[in-house]
Chains A and B, each alone.
Chain A
Amino acid sequence: MQLTVNGKNHDLDVEPEMPLLWVLRDELGILGPKYGCGAGLCGACTVHVDGSAVRSCSITAGEVRGNVTTIEGLGTPSNPHIVQQAWIDHQVAQCGYCQSGQMMTAAAFLSKTPEPSESQISDAMSGNLCRCGTYTRIHSAVKTAAQMTKGK
């Protein structure tokens, strides 16, 4: 099976029903996407497939059609994506375990909705759980990221 992740092609020998999350984590060693619930309920595993946010625990490897981007492909510590920069500036993270998924959801959302309303932000972010309760700061960071995108 073939999979393109963060611009790199991989030849894989896995059963097609293995969820993408476990291909990424255990087969490819790409550890940014996190396991939280395994059932599409928390969003910790969120990645992009051709730019759309997808729960990697709930899509199987065989179902993936398109290029996969994980948080590692979004930006890096030395060259962070706008969303990541906003997350740094607002010091959003507590434990940080949910934040890869939060940022991937936010990045996909903002790329499609560059000037979001409050209720659009709410709708977009409400599927991602944060047990530490960083929602207030996520909210500010999403708004900052939207402004930064506009300013570009």
Chain B
Amino acid sequence: MARLKTIARRTFLVGSAAVVGGVAFGYYSLRKEPPNPLLKGLKSGQAAITPYVRVDSEGVTLITPRADKGQGAYSIQAHLIAEELDVDPHKVRIDPGPPDTAYFNSRIMDDSLPFATIDEGVMARGARGGGEVLSRLLGMQITGGSSTVPDGYHKLRVAGAVARETLKEAAARRSGVPRSQLKTSDGRVILPDGKSVSYAELAAEAAQIAPITDVALRPEKEWRYIGKNMRRIDIVAKSTGTQRYGIDVRLDGMVYATVRTNPGMGGTIKRYDASNAEKMRGVKKIVPIKDGVGVIADNTWRAFHAAEAIKIEWNDPPYPADSAGMWKVLEGSFSKDQQDSRLRNDGDVEKAFAGASKSIEAEYRTPYLAHAPLEPMNAVVLYTKQRIDIWTGTQIPVFLRAHAAKLTQLPEEKVYVHAQPIGGSFGARLDDTYALQAIELAMAMEGVPVKMTWSREENMAHDYPRPIQLSRAKGSVRDGKVESMSIDIAGQSMGASWFNRLQAPVPPGPDTTSVNGIWDQPFSIPNYRVTGYRTKEMVPVSPWRSVGASGNGFHHASFLDELIYAAGADPMSELIRLCNHEPSKAVLHTLRDISDWKGVRLDDRRARGVALTLSFGVPMAQVVEISDTAQGIKIEKVFAVCDVGRILDPINFEAQVQGGIIWALGHAMNCELTYENFAPNQTNFHVFEAMRFRQVPEIIIKGLELGKEVRGLGEPPVPPAAPALANAIFALTGKRVRELPLNKSVKFA
């Protein structure tokens, strides 16, 4: 899939900037193992053999630095370490560990590079290496981009093996039996005579030994966990109401708080009058904070109540006040000076259009969307002049630590981030605004722990949504085939907005996320062009489950379907014919077979649509089957096939695909943020419903294991679902819906 010649020279800059910073200078030293952060906090008798394994007389603790937002990250990280360490992940302690650059994510930049994630070419691999170095330099301990598994698949098993061999070495020195004759099982080293010694008992001695790093990973046939159904380590807690999240942290003497900030995000506060609120029961303090005001009380509800009673005047943020004005900005941005990228330019689309016998044009729109995880943003903070402790769910602990240090003027070593399990994120916890607000409040309550919780309404208005995108597409067909396709797409840069808030350098070069899901799709069309246009920043935005591809999949796969219809071809056969990537082709073949595809029309009341989007290296194709009922359109079935390289846990694989499809279809059906007076109209779940239980279709899933690379799966199920549904609606009704959510145009049962 090296498509170098099709990638314009200048688009290569991001990659090479990173590569120059890495390969030419200091790459090898950067490749060295970073210092082990666990060594700092060790007590006597404890051993921290790698940054991922701590052993003491109580037993083993596995460090799982990627945040668990429900995708099962803690469980899969623990199982990967345990696969080599020979412990039962259910019997050991699991700890997310401290924020530390040692836990940088080697794969987080993959999706921001101007190379398709399936591109195996030298330059692409070089750029990915550069991305890894950049991530390390910036200390990017980030959870996201479906990267937990690709990043950890090898290194967590190595960590487990290093710890195992080091513990064996400790046992060898104690027993005089050479290490090669020792075995391990269930947290113990076994001697040849059958006697055994627990890891816990060996901790003190292991701490004195330099870690044994020359280790070999076990062959597949010896795996106990990988590839088999796993039991999530948190499943009992989450099934009995005993799982604790950030919002459940309770400390002695804790007070409860909330905030109200400008509902037009980015706008500041002019003045407020809290005279009524101050007198309300339980209110302890009203505190001005950045862009708003906070209330500290003795109960969250009392804080909510008092916050509502404050009269506030806001200053307008610097963007249009309503949705119509925002769309106008996008409509006016298709000009040469706002062109940001042209990552694909195959053949000559202009020439093809000039000579086309049949061409079509269309405009597509995708809305602002909130992440709206069910657990509202919250943080507990205890501040003193000497140190600050922050208990919160976060995907960006290292950034949070830096931001907290800056805000409090404390050195970073005095900032303690205690990462908490998260009640859903979908990208929301890639920001830390809520935690910084809690810090501001805690600084006004020195020595008293403060729990700050956003009301749902505050959360809906401050969610840093997925950006709106507008595309203008044109294509032509000839002899029953798609001959040319050009997609111009405009939007604000998600990456720039988010990186600015992180106070991280915005990667130079084209904004790939704005066009991912369009330019990098595995199809050969003779004339094929993808152009990105960048508008100024409007509502501050952030990555939303499946990032650029989440909305772009709809623009691309819907328009491709239009062209296939215009050509008079069968959508499944034409997608297969156009496909130029073997795993993607296998995915489509399998989908055709398991769905028993016989065309888009099943009978006069039922029809199907198909779409494929490749994202995060995973080709994912879906058939959505709908029916016409008296109550409206009903989604009956979804067939989903993908290739993830290797399925680590079949149960969680299925759960992630089911959840991703339900997420995507639900938002496609009925979710958007529309703006009036700078704030979203959608204040709670009655107008941001997504899919309800009674609307859930039967979902039939098949995972292929073809690729060389192991891929993550949190996001890839999302992008093709909306276009597959819209394509089915066209097949059923003859109506081509080109704007999400679909319920603006059709009624759902």
Contacts and interface: CB of A to CB of B under 8 A. Distances in A.
Pick from B239, B244, B693 the residue with the most CB of A within 10 Å. Answer: B239
B236 interface: yes
Contacts of B696: 135-136, 139
B240 A131 contact: no
Interface in B34-74: 69-72
B685 A37 contact: yes
A93 B422 CA distance: 12
Interface in B277-307: 281, 299-302, 304
B662 A133 contact: yes
Contacts of B248: 31
B240 A71 contact: yes
B464 interface: no
Interface residues of B, number: 63
A22 B301 contact: yes
Contact of B373 (A84, A87, A131): A131
Given A35-B453, A41-B684, A126-B694, A26 B299 contact: yes
Contacts of A130: 374
Given A38-B455, A88-B236, A131-B426, A77 B374 contact: no
A77 B236 contact: yes
B238 interface: yes
Nearest to B243: A96
Contact of B374 (A74, A75, A129, A139): A129
Contacts of A80: 236, 239-240
Contacts of B666: 133
Given A41-B685, A42-B685, A131-B424, A103 B247 contact: no
Interface of B (DSSP majority class): loop
Contacts of B693: 122, 125-126, 128, 135, 138-139
A35 to B, nearest CB: 7
Nearest to B683: A39
A96 B684 contact: no
B172 interface: no
Contact of A37 (B234, B237, B281, B456): B456
Contact of B456 (A22, A26, A36): A36
Contact of A34 (B421, B423, B692, B694): B423
Given A29-B250, A77-B242, A87-B239, A131 B372 contact: yes
Contact of B299 (A18, A34, A99): A18
Contacts, number: 179
Nearest to A31: B248
Contacts of A137: 655, 658
A97 B299 contact: no
A21 B300 CA distance: 10
Contact of A93 (B234, B685, B692): B234
A34 B374 contact: yes
B661 interface: yes
A136 B240 contact: no
B239 A132 contact: no
A105 B411 CA distance: 48
A39 B282 CA distance: 22
A44 B240 CA distance: 14
Interface residues of A, number: 61
Nearest to A99: B238
A22 B424 contact: no
Interface in B244-277: 244-245, 247-248, 250, 256
A103 B693 CA distance: 14
A85 B236 CA distance: 9
Contact of A94 (B70, B256, B281, B689): B70
A33 B72 CA distance: 22
Interface string B340-373: 0000000000000000000000000000000011
Interface in A36-71: 36-39, 41-42, 44, 70-71
B238 A133 contact: no
Contact of B69 (A34, A92, A95): A95
B376 interface: yes
Given A70-B241, A87-B239, A95 B231 contact: no
A91 interface: yes
Contact of A96 (B423, B455, B692): B423
Interface in B686-725: 686, 689-694, 696, 699
A15 interface: yes
B651 interface: yes
Contacts of B372: 131
Contact of B238 (A42, A93, A129): A93
Interface centre among B301, B304, B660 (most CB of A within 10 A): B301
Interface in A93-143: 93-100, 103, 122-123, 125-126, 128-139
B642 to A, nearest CB: 16
Given A77-B237, A94-B72, A103-B239, A22 B232 contact: no
B235 interface: yes
Contact of B375 (A34, A103, A122, A134): A34
B663 interface: yes
Given A26-B301, A132-B424, A35 B239 contact: no
Interface string B416-441: 00000111111000000000000000
Nearest to B697: A136
A31 B421 CA distance: 14
Contacts of A138: 693
A98 B410 CA distance: 37
B489 to A, nearest CB: 27
Given A94-B71, A97-B424, A139-B693, A39 B686 contact: yes
Contact of B245 (A75, A97, A131): A97
A135 B662 contact: yes
A100 B232 CA distance: 17
Interface of A: 14-15, 18-19, 21-22, 25-27, 29, 31-39, 41-42, 44, 70-72, 74-77, 80, 84-85, 87-88, 91-100, 103, 122-123, 125-126, 128-139
Q: What 5 A-B pairs are tightest by C-beta distance, nearest first?
A: A95-B70, A97-B423, A71-B241, A32-B241, A96-B238
Interface of B: 69-72, 231-232, 234-245, 247-248, 250, 256, 281, 299-302, 304, 372-376, 421-426, 453, 455-456, 651-652, 655, 658-663, 666, 684-686, 689-694, 696, 699
Given A31-B250, A38-B684, A72-B241, 17 more contacts: A22-B301, A34-B247, A36-B374, A39-B685, A77-B240, A80-B239, A91-B232, A93-B232, A95-B422, A95-B423, A95-B424, A97-B70, A126-B694, A129-B685, A131-B424, A132-B659, A138-B693
